[in-house]
């Protein structure tokens, strides 16, 4: 899975557009980073920037943003409504995909150390990156704000984790930064069939982690209850890692429960939705839908879609697009306005359409277009891409039989059994479809090497080395196709033996397509391996390919024997 990190720095400038543009420009100057949102606030004199990318790219962009903020913002002149301690006030790294919180914490600490070493900015590490338990709380790190820095830096217990030994002119200008790693925060509003803010607030108190103040007799107006130390007693809500309030929205003419889910691992979006529905119903209200504010990782919607599919005892082995559609409809995310995943899901926003079109040129064609392109005088797509496509069709057919079996009348108790097969099949379909274009790209790479200059001995040597490397890669790609297509055969056998008997012929065609794809890819392994000068690299590839063909032939025969029994019964 591609690693994606989100960064949401807060800069202590929300009024001067030239300063804000300068900081955002520094962030955007890093290749591979995409700025998703810039949100300046005049009253707070603070700007929140949201950008995403690969971990190293995001850290570089965060560093450049901090350097530019240090250059353009003088904290001695700063005033605003929001608590702050530096020009770059907070700098959280947030895992989105393919990376853990622990890895983000390590990155945050390295970033803080670099900012201190190269820029002279004192840095406190907070939340998951904290070195001290009490500093997990941002408020502790920022206590006293910018004005308290001279005193804090002189106190061994309160000095920053990284930075200069004492307060100096650089610190006076830049202030201190709070660098951390935290969970992704989802902002979501739950729409209610009421105009009552009070009732919406009651539901919010029921579910938010903080809960509500305890009162005598459990009433809303009774005397507040305190413990023996005089501290207010609180009745906790039902959802961990959630903050919520109730409000009325003039634009929509309804009340909402407005929630921040600060820990999506403890409380996924769909669990929050279900609990708000329960709490609302207990008070005679109904949740009519939900509104996601800002962006979400794709996994949030995929997890929700699978949750509702499982509740329906439906197969989870369907396309990503269909799973997300189930999530949107199940939580009525389109209740107030259309919900377009391409505009709300971080991974989709990161996709470069032009780059994706080149990368997936073949699999984005129609079936007719692919066939016509194959038949043209162009050498690609060739046998390798066609073999990968046959493998994809094999996995797709086995998945289809699993999905049909999962939904077969009278087989409801077996839905999970078939759903597991379908999920495995969908993953194979994705892998083999990617190999369709990867095989053609490998061929193009060889052709590009043949076009390299060869006027001098050095150029000839470089050209020969490049051709050898590209040829080895071109031999390994169809071997990957063989390995992936082989995995479709056990699925076809399972479906032939246990799946819907009415679809037995489909399982048989899946086996035939898998073996055809495997045999075709094996020819491509051999022809590319034959072009290698280093025979010690070629021989293991050829041997592995022959072994796969031998094992696949046995499995295909077993599938067809089973299928024929079903047909002849």
Q: Which residues are catalytic?
A: 82, 439
Q: Which of 481, 556, 467 is closest to 521 using CA atoms?
A: 481
Rounded to 5 degrees, φ, ψ at 377 are -75, -5
Residue 124 in contact with residue 102, Cβ under 8 Å?
Answer: no
Q: Which of 472, 411, 401 is closest to 442 using CA atoms?
A: 472
Q: DSSP string covering 27-52, please? A: HHTSTT-EEEEEEEETTTTEEEEEEE
The angle, 0 to 180 degrees and rounded to 10, between the axes of the packed helices 298-311 and 269-282 is 60
Residue 174 in contact with residue 121, Cβ under 8 Å?
Answer: yes
Task: Please work out, in degrees rounded to the nearest 5, the angle formed at the alpha carbon of residue 291 by the alpha carbons of 286 and 295.
Answer: 150
Q: Which of 105, 162, 111, 152 is closest to 130 using CA atoms?
A: 105
Element (H, E) at 187: strand 186-192
Class of residue 71 by CB neighbours under 10 A (exposed 0-12, middle 13-18, buried 19+): middle
Alpha-carbon separation of residue 303 from 2, 182, 295, 406, 444 (angstroms): 18, 20, 16, 20, 38
Rounded to 5 degrees, φ, ψ at 88 are -95, 100
Q: Which of 86, 66, 81 is closest to 26 using CA atoms?
A: 66
Max CA separation in the chain (angstroms) = 94
Q: Which of 349, 188, 326, 340 is closest to 264 using CA atoms?
A: 188
Q: DSSP string covering 260-276, please? A: EES-TTTS-HHHHHHHH
DSSP β-bridge partners for residue 178: 90, 124
Please list, in sequence order, all residues whose beta carbon lies within 8 angstroms of the beta carbon of residue 163, skipping any fewer than 6 positions away.
116, 120, 121, 122, 123, 153, 171, 176
Q: Which of 46, 45, 86, 61 is closest to 6 using CA atoms?
A: 61
Q: DSSP string covering 283-345, please? A: TT--EEEEEEES-B-HHHHHHHHHHHHHHTT--S-S-HHHHHHHHHHHTTTTSSS---HHHHB
């Amino acid at each position: 899975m591609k690693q994606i990190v989100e960064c949401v720095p807060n800069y202590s400038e929300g009024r001067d557009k030239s300063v804000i543009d300068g900081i955002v420009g520094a962030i955007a100057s890093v290749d591979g980073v995409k700025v998703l949102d810039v949100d300046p606030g005049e009253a707070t004199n603070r700007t929140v920037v949201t950008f995403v990318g690969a971990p190293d790219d995001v850290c570089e962009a965060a560093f450049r943003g901090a350097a530019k903020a240090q250059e353009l913002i003088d904290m001695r002149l700063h005033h605003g409504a929001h608590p702050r301690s530096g020009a770059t006030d907070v700098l959280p790294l947030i895992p989105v995909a393919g990376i853990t919180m622990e890895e983000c914490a390590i990155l945050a600490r390295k970033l803080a150390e670099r900012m201190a070493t190269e820029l002279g900015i004192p840095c406190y590490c907070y939340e998951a990156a904290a070195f001290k338990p009490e500093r997990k709380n941002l408020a502790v790190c920022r206590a006293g704000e910018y004005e308290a820095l001279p005193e804090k830096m002189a106190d061994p217990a309160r000095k920053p984790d990284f930075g200069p030994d004492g307060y100096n002119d650089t610190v006076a200008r830049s202030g201190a930064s709070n660098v951390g790693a935290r969970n992704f925060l989802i902002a979501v509003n739950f729409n209610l069939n009421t105009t009552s803010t009070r009732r919406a607030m009651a539901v919010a108190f029921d579910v938010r982690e903080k809960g509500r103040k305890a009162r005598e007799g459990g009433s809303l107006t009774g005397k507040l209850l305190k413990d023996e130390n005089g501290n207010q007693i609180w009745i906790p809500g039902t959802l961990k890692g959630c903050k919520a309030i109730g409000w009325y929205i003039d634009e929509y003419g309804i009340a909402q429960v407005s929630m921040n889910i600060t820990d999506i691992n403890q409380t996924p979006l769909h669990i929050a939705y279900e609990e708000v529905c329960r709490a609302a119903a207990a008070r005679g209200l109904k949740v009519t839908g939900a509104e996601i504010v800002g962006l979400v990782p794709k996994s949030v919607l995929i997890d929700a879609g699978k949750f509702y599919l499982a509740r329906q005892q439906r197969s989870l082995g369907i396309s990503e697009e269909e799973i997300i559609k189930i999530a949107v409809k199940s939580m009525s995310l389109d209740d107030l306005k259309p919900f377009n995943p391409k505009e709300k899901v971080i991974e989709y926003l990161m996709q470069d359409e032009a780059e994706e079109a080149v990368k997936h040129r073949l699999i984005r064609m129609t079936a007719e277009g692919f066939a016509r392109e194959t038949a043209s005088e162009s050498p690609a797509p060739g046998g390798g891409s066609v073999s990968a496509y046959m493998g994809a069709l094999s996995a797709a057919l086995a998945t289809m039989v699993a999905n049909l079996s999962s939904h077969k009348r009278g087989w409801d108790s077996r839905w999970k059994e078939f759903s597991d097969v379908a999920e495995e099949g969908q993953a194979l379909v994705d892998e083999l479809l990617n190999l369709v274009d990867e095989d053609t790209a490998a061929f193009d790479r060889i052709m590009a090497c043949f076009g390299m200059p060869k006027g001098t001995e050095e150029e000839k040597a470089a050209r020969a080395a490049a051709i050898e490397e590209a040829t080895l890669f071109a031999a390994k790609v169809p071997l990957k196709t063989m390995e992936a297509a082989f995995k479709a055969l056990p699925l076809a056998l399972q479906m032939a033996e246990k799946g819907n008997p009415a679809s037995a012929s489909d399982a048989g065609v899946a086996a035939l397509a898998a073996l055809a794809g495997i045999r075709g890819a094996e020819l491509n392994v051999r022809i590319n391996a034959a072009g290698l000068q280093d025979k010690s690299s070629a021989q293991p590839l050829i041997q592995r390919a022959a072994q796969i063909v031998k094992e696949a032939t046995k499995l295909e025969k077993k599938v067809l024997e089973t299928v024929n029994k079903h047909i002849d019964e």
